[in-house]
Amino acid sequence: MFNIRDYVKLKDTDSIGIIKKIIQKNTDEIYIIEINKKKVSTSKDNLILSSKEELENTNSRYIKNKTSNENFSLLYNYTKDFSNEIMLRHQTLDEAMFNLENFLDLAYINDIKVVRIVHGKHGGVLRHGVHELLKKDKRIKSFRLGNYFEGSYGVTIAYFK
């Protein structure tokens, strides 16, 4: 169905890339997709055929929670202008964690090494949620609270491997 050098869209993130390699594993095929100079592996069930024009016209998009009935969405711009900062203040914990997961995916695809996560100082619920998510994310090498000039304990700085 798909061939090497086809442009495809990943269903779970709506990212567009090009098929670089197809690996046959038993009866399944694993597709290696290049998105913004990063390689991602996925199955064909997660792919939709796309075009070079759609890739070139893709500057920003809405990402919706496809795994639940909740209707979270956040506009991300992940072209050359991708910002390494996300603002989670005034969001519920569920909204913030969903948005942070998508932000980390896009930061990783864009080869960002350091991200700034603004969760606010009040109460610490978002800060605790952010730190728990970062501990579990295998792409994160380390993280720390911001220093005085970075936003103090209302900001977390995370470093990718």
Q: What is the pLDDT of residues 109-122, one digit of tens each?
A: 878 899 999 998 87
CATH number for 59-160 (one of 3.30.565.10, 3.40.190.170, 3.30.1370.110, 3.30.1490.100): it is: 3.30.1370.110
- Which of 137, 155, 139 lies closest to 147, judged by CA? 155
How far apart are alpha carbons 88 and 127 in whole angstroms?
10
Domain parsing of the chain, residue ranges = 7-56, 59-160
For residues 142-153, average pLDDT: 87
Confidence of residue 62 (pLDDT cuts 50, 70, 90): very low
Lowest pLDDT segment from 63-77, 83-97, 117-131? 63-77
Torsions phi, psi for 18 (to 5 deg):
-120, 140
Higher-confidence position of 152 and 76: 152
- 48 pLDDT above the threshold of 60: yes
How far apart are alpha carbons 153 and 124 in whole angstroms?
9
How far apart are alpha carbons 92 and 19 in whole angstroms?
37
- Residue 12, pLDDT score: 64
Confidence of residue 56 (pLDDT cuts 50, 70, 90): low
- 17 pLDDT above the threshold of 90: no
- 57 pLDDT above the threshold of 60: yes
Higher-confidence position of 61 and 122: 122
The structure tokens 């956040």 sit at: 74
Q: What is the pTM of this model?
A: 0.53
For residues 65-73, average pLDDT: 43
